[in-house]
Amino acid sequence: MPALPIIRFPDPRLRTACAPVAAFDDDLHILASDLLDTMRAAPGVGITGPHIGILKRVVVIELSREDGVRTYINPEVLWSSEETMRHMEGSVSMPGATEEVVRPKSIRFRYQTIDGELREEDAHDFLASCIQHEIDQLDGIFWLQRLSKLKRDRLVKKWEKLRA
Protein backbone atom coordinates (compact mmCIF):
# COMPACT_ATOMS: atom_id res chain seq x y z
CA MET A 1 0.00 0.00 0.00
CA PRO A 2 1.17 3.53 -0.63
CA ALA A 3 1.83 5.85 2.28
CA LEU A 4 -1.14 8.02 3.19
CA PRO A 5 -0.99 11.79 3.81
CA ILE A 6 -0.17 12.69 7.41
CA ILE A 7 -2.07 15.57 8.96
CA ARG A 8 0.13 18.31 10.39
CA PHE A 9 0.12 20.25 13.62
CA PRO A 10 -1.99 22.29 14.54
CA ASP A 11 -4.82 20.30 12.87
CA PRO A 12 -7.62 20.01 15.50
CA ARG A 13 -7.96 16.25 14.89
CA LEU A 14 -4.64 15.85 16.70
CA ARG A 15 -6.37 17.08 19.87
CA THR A 16 -9.51 15.00 19.51
CA ALA A 17 -10.12 11.88 21.61
CA CYS A 18 -10.65 8.78 19.49
CA ALA A 19 -13.52 6.33 19.46
CA PRO A 20 -12.81 2.74 20.49
CA VAL A 21 -12.56 0.19 17.71
CA ALA A 22 -15.59 -2.10 17.74
CA ALA A 23 -15.23 -4.02 14.47
CA PHE A 24 -12.23 -6.33 14.14
CA ASP A 25 -12.61 -6.87 10.43
CA ASP A 26 -10.76 -6.59 7.12
CA ASP A 27 -11.03 -2.79 7.23
CA LEU A 28 -9.09 -2.76 10.52
CA HIS A 29 -6.36 -4.96 9.01
CA ILE A 30 -6.14 -2.59 6.03
CA LEU A 31 -5.95 0.43 8.34
CA ALA A 32 -3.11 -1.15 10.38
CA SER A 33 -1.22 -1.99 7.19
CA ASP A 34 -1.72 1.54 5.83
CA LEU A 35 -0.51 3.00 9.13
CA LEU A 36 2.64 0.85 9.01
CA ASP A 37 3.46 1.90 5.43
CA THR A 38 2.79 5.55 6.26
CA MET A 39 4.94 5.41 9.42
CA ARG A 40 7.85 3.81 7.58
CA ALA A 41 7.66 6.43 4.82
CA ALA A 42 7.52 9.33 7.31
CA PRO A 43 9.82 7.93 8.87
CA GLY A 44 8.80 7.28 12.46
CA VAL A 45 8.65 4.58 15.13
CA GLY A 46 4.98 5.01 16.05
CA ILE A 47 1.77 6.20 14.45
CA THR A 48 -1.94 6.32 15.28
CA GLY A 49 -5.20 6.66 13.40
CA PRO A 50 -5.41 10.41 14.17
CA HIS A 51 -2.11 11.03 12.37
CA ILE A 52 -3.90 10.20 9.13
CA GLY A 53 -7.20 11.76 10.17
CA ILE A 54 -8.93 8.53 11.27
CA LEU A 55 -10.15 8.99 14.84
CA LYS A 56 -9.97 5.36 15.94
CA ARG A 57 -7.92 3.86 18.78
CA VAL A 58 -5.29 2.12 16.64
CA VAL A 59 -1.52 2.27 17.30
CA VAL A 60 1.30 0.81 15.23
CA ILE A 61 4.85 0.80 16.64
CA GLU A 62 8.04 -0.50 15.07
CA LEU A 63 11.13 0.40 17.09
CA SER A 64 13.29 -1.51 14.60
CA ARG A 65 12.75 -4.04 11.84
CA GLU A 66 14.41 -6.65 14.08
CA ASP A 67 11.95 -5.97 16.94
CA GLY A 68 9.02 -6.29 14.56
CA VAL A 69 5.71 -4.50 14.26
CA ARG A 70 3.42 -4.10 17.25
CA THR A 71 -0.23 -3.25 16.69
CA TYR A 72 -2.34 -2.16 19.65
CA ILE A 73 -6.09 -1.67 19.40
CA ASN A 74 -7.92 0.25 22.13
CA PRO A 75 -4.82 0.49 24.37
CA GLU A 76 -4.98 1.95 27.87
CA VAL A 77 -2.42 2.37 30.64
CA LEU A 78 -3.38 0.45 33.78
CA TRP A 79 -0.37 1.33 35.93
CA SER A 80 2.72 3.50 35.64
CA SER A 81 5.87 3.58 37.76
CA GLU A 82 6.82 6.48 39.97
CA GLU A 83 10.31 6.25 38.47
CA THR A 84 10.55 8.46 35.40
CA MET A 85 12.83 8.86 32.43
CA ARG A 86 13.63 11.66 29.99
CA HIS A 87 13.48 10.99 26.28
CA MET A 88 13.49 13.07 23.10
CA GLU A 89 10.09 12.96 21.45
CA GLY A 90 8.59 14.27 18.26
CA SER A 91 5.70 13.45 15.97
CA VAL A 92 5.16 12.39 12.38
CA SER A 93 2.65 15.27 12.38
CA MET A 94 5.39 17.74 13.28
CA PRO A 95 8.53 16.54 11.46
CA GLY A 96 11.78 18.16 12.47
CA ALA A 97 10.54 19.30 15.90
CA THR A 98 11.76 17.41 18.97
CA GLU A 99 12.04 18.09 22.67
CA GLU A 100 12.76 16.16 25.85
CA VAL A 101 9.69 14.75 27.61
CA VAL A 102 9.54 13.15 31.07
CA ARG A 103 7.36 10.04 31.37
CA PRO A 104 7.06 7.04 33.69
CA LYS A 105 9.86 4.55 33.03
CA SER A 106 7.59 1.49 33.21
CA ILE A 107 3.93 0.83 32.52
CA ARG A 108 1.40 -1.97 32.50
CA PHE A 109 -1.15 -1.60 29.74
CA ARG A 110 -4.13 -3.41 28.26
CA TYR A 111 -5.00 -3.60 24.59
CA GLN A 112 -6.66 -5.77 22.00
CA THR A 113 -4.86 -7.52 19.18
CA ILE A 114 -5.80 -6.88 15.56
CA ASP A 115 -8.13 -9.89 15.91
CA GLY A 116 -9.79 -8.59 19.09
CA GLU A 117 -8.02 -10.71 21.70
CA LEU A 118 -7.63 -8.85 25.02
CA ARG A 119 -4.07 -8.74 26.41
CA GLU A 120 -2.03 -7.07 29.15
CA GLU A 121 1.69 -6.37 28.96
CA ASP A 122 4.46 -4.54 30.76
CA ALA A 123 6.69 -2.10 28.90
CA HIS A 124 9.86 -0.37 30.02
CA ASP A 125 12.19 2.40 28.88
CA PHE A 126 11.87 3.52 25.22
CA LEU A 127 8.95 1.19 24.43
CA ALA A 128 7.04 2.47 27.49
CA SER A 129 7.61 6.07 26.35
CA CYS A 130 6.41 5.26 22.82
CA ILE A 131 3.26 3.54 24.03
CA GLN A 132 2.43 6.40 26.41
CA HIS A 133 3.07 8.94 23.64
CA GLU A 134 0.71 7.14 21.24
CA ILE A 135 -2.00 6.55 23.87
CA ASP A 136 -1.85 10.26 24.68
CA GLN A 137 -2.49 10.92 20.98
CA LEU A 138 -5.53 8.63 21.05
CA ASP A 139 -6.80 10.55 24.08
CA GLY A 140 -6.46 13.87 22.23
CA ILE A 141 -3.27 14.90 24.05
CA PHE A 142 -0.71 16.06 21.50
CA TRP A 143 2.83 15.53 22.81
CA LEU A 144 3.50 19.28 23.05
CA GLN A 145 1.03 19.40 25.93
CA ARG A 146 3.57 17.43 28.01
CA LEU A 147 6.06 20.33 27.77
CA SER A 148 6.33 23.45 29.89
CA LYS A 149 4.66 26.52 28.38
CA LEU A 150 8.07 28.05 27.66
CA LYS A 151 9.38 24.97 25.82
CA ARG A 152 6.07 24.51 24.00
CA ASP A 153 5.94 28.13 22.80
CA ARG A 154 9.57 28.00 21.66
CA LEU A 155 8.99 24.75 19.76
CA VAL A 156 5.81 26.01 18.09
CA LYS A 157 7.69 29.10 16.87
CA LYS A 158 10.46 26.88 15.50
CA TRP A 159 7.85 24.66 13.79
CA GLU A 160 6.17 27.67 12.19
CA LYS A 161 9.53 28.76 10.77
CA LEU A 162 10.19 25.25 9.43
CA ARG A 163 6.80 25.22 7.68
CA ALA A 164 7.26 28.69 6.14
Phi and psi of 145, rounded to 5°? Answer: -70, -15
Active site residues: 134
Q: With contact defined as beta carbons under 8 Å apart, do 91 and 142 qualify?
A: yes
> How far is the CA of 18 from the CAs of 48, 117, 118, 137, 138, in angstroms?
10, 20, 19, 9, 5
